[in-house]
Amino acid sequence: MAQASDPSAASGGVAAIFGLGNPGDKYQDTRHNIGFLIIDALIRKGSYSEQKGNRLTTLHRARVEGQEVWLGKPQTFMNLSGQAVNWVSGSKKVPPERVMVVVDDIALPFGKMRVRGEGSAGGHNGLKSIIADLGTQKFPRLRVGVGPIPEGWDQVNFVLGRFRAEERKALDDIIERSVLCLESWIKRGLEPTMNEFNRDPS
């Protein structure tokens, strides 16, 4: 599949990264909220200042190598994530090809990562909502594996469940690698990031 165009950071443009999840203590640290965990880690590592958001999303902002970068965690619940992404894309003038979305993926084994420049929702309700609101599939996404679903488990209960003890031991490394991936995308663009981070770490 052809990848979406991805202007370089050197163009001095604007980019946005959204980590998907559900707001509230009930959903904190669940598999479906790994996007939130990754955005939080990126905020802690970088020089991102908190900005005034609205009921749709939190917002943080920084300038990275001449590029304005917005970070968001939609507060609309997963199935309406597109409202937040569309609002930031429109109000901050971020073209869809410069909107990176970070999501959990039950089709990928736990800890595996895949970066793509465009594509279908793959059954993910957050991506479905974003595609509907942006009116395009041509935006990059980082899928972080949380699967497989154990035999006999309900899918909803699985993704809304918290990580097992053995998974938590590896979670910090997975989040750190995801942050490095997002920083690479901001600074180097899509193709170099795909080439590096779609390979499983040795």
Catalytic residues: 32
The CA distance from 72 to 35, in Å, is 10
178: closest CA among 117, 111, 118, 99? Answer: 111
What are the CA-CA distances from residue 166 to residues 69, 86, 98, 101, 199 (Å)?
A: 34, 37, 35, 27, 23
- CA dist 7 and 26 (Å) reads 38
Helices 81-91 and 125-134 meet at what angle, rounded to 10? 40
Please, which residues bridge with residue 63 across strands? 68
Beta partners for 58?
73
- 69/67 Cα distance (integer angstroms): 6
